Amino acid sequence: MFRLIIICGLVWFAYKKLKSLILPGPRPSQKVSGQNRQVIDDVMLQDPFCKTYFPGRDAVHLRIDGKDLYFCSTRCRDSFLAARIKS
């Protein structure tokens, strides 16, 4: 009888462990932003100003109104900001 309880406990523990592996909970924000950074490095991005596609590792990052924008060059970023101020 005592053995059965131990087996039940082990099965329950294994089930919980498996569930946490299949459905990972929310990760710390630091880790998420690090992962995003890696994804951006490997992906082609579109410059919102000149509409050119370029590799993410060359992106010029701009954070504006809580949104992340990526530009192909500092010139595009500056032109985008200038156009934004005008409108």
Stretch that binds Zn ion, among 21-29, 34-42, 57-65, 72-80 (CB under 5 A): 72-80
DSSP summary character for residue 72 = S
Pick the closest to residue 77 from 43, 52, 41 (CA basis).
52
Which of 59, 70, 72, 77 binds Zn ion (CB under 5 A)? It is 72
Pairing label, strands 53-55, 67-71 = unpaired
Long-range contacts of 25-33 (CB under 8 A, 24+ apart): none
Segment lying near Zn ion (by CB under 5 A), choices 2-10, 14-22, 30-38, 39-47: 39-47
| Residue whose C-alpha is closest to residue 50's, from 78, 82, 72 | 72
Nearer to Zn ion, 23 or 85 (CB): 85
**60 belongs to the binding site for Zn ion (CB under 5 A):** no
Name the one range near Zn ion by CB under 5 A: 10-18, 32-40, 47-55, 58-66: 47-55
